[in-house]
Amino acid sequence: MAIFLDTGKIDVIKKYHLMGIIRGVTTNPTIMVKDGITGGMEGVKKQSIEIAKLIHPYPLSVEVTNNDPKDMIRQGIEFSKWADNINVKITIHGPNGELDNLQVIHELEKKHNVRINATAMMSAQQCFLAAMAGATYVSIFGGRVNNMGYDSREEIARLRHLLDDFELPSKIIVGSTREVVNIIEWLEAGAHIVTVTPKFIDGMIVHPYSKETVQMFLKDGATFEKSK
Ligand code: E4P
pLDDT at residue number 11: 97
Q: Where are the domains of the chain?
A: 2-221
Q: 175 CA to middle of ligand 1, Å?
A: 5
Report residues of the chain scoring pLDDT below 50. Answer: none
Ligand 1 shell residues, CB under 6 Å? 6, 26, 28, 31, 119, 139, 141, 143-144, 175-176, 195
Q: Is 89 a catalytic residue?
A: yes
Q: Which atom of ligand 1 is nearest to the CA of 173?
A: 2
Q: Which CATH class is domain 2-221?
A: alpha beta
Q: 91 CA to middle of ligand 1, Å?
A: 12
What is the rounded CA–CA span in Å between residue 81 and residue 48? 11
Q: 226 CA to middle of ligand 1, Å?
A: 51
DSSP for residue 194: E
What is the rounded CA–CA span in Å between residue 141 and residue 77? 25
Instruction: Spell 215-228 as b/e; 16+ CB within 10 A means b.
Output: eeeeeeeeeeeeee
What is the rounded CA–CA span in Å between residue 51 and residue 41? 15
Catalytic residue among 45, 53, 89, 171: 89
